[in-house]
Copies of this chain bind each other. A is one copy, B any other.
Amino acid sequence: MPGPIEFYFDFSSPYGYIASTLIDDLGGRVGREVRWKPFLLGPVFKANGQAPLVDVPMKGDYSKRDFDRTARYHGVPFSLPAKFPIGAIAALRSFYWIDDRDAAKAKAFAQAVYKAYFADGVDITDAAQVLAIAQRLGIDGTALSAALNDQAVKDRAKQEVDAIIAKGAFGSPFFIVDGEPFWGNDRLPMLEDWVRRGGW
């Protein structure tokens, strides 16, 4: 059986959000499972001495325009959040805790978090908001709330982030399929062609 498409994303990434609305359809077209894995760009940018995109001169203004335009191009509701970029720690830890229990629900949770943050203006740095999103999906809020304060859960999330960065992911979205890395939702047509043709 062919391997999955690994989909790495930061909950604070507009392009990751847009990719999240496209990647499962792509996986379906090429007959590959998509494995969703959130991580954090903060440690990458710190290690590489990079600034967040919107803080880079010239690039910042362009990027804001391009976020909006790209979302409209793909028909995805989008509004740049007032608090942006963020470190989406509660959402990250929640994801892996849910994922250990129900992978399909973890994906639904990630989609709901993205929509809340980028379409509905919800402040996902607020753990209470993250819990509310989880509860609306039928996840046990009391258990998740306790988990967010559990060192083992924190460590689990950190190990995932470290492992993803060790694989070479330095941006969001980042994809790996059959060992081949692709950065950016604008590489999706290339990724699709790569999978269909087995490289070129």
Contact = CB atoms under 8 A, between A and B. Distances in A.
Contacts of A48: 56-59
A54 interface: no
Given A72-B200, A200-B72, A58 B190 contact: no
Nearest to A188: B186
A170 interface: yes
Contacts of A171: 59
A168 B73 contact: no
Interface string A177-196: 00001011011011001000
Contact of A181 (B57, B62, B73, B183): B62
A129 interface: no
A153 interface: no
Nearest to A58: B170
Nearest to A57: B48
The size bracket of the interface on A is 20 to 34
A98 interface: no
Most B CB within 10 A of own CB, among A56, A186, A200: A186
A143 interface: no
B200 A73 contact: yes
Given A186-B186, A187-B186, A168 B61 contact: yes
A145 interface: no
A50 interface: yes
Given A50-B56, A186-B187, A65 B181 contact: yes
The 5 closest A-B pairs by CB, nearest first: A186-B186, A58-B170, A48-B57, A59-B170, A72-B200
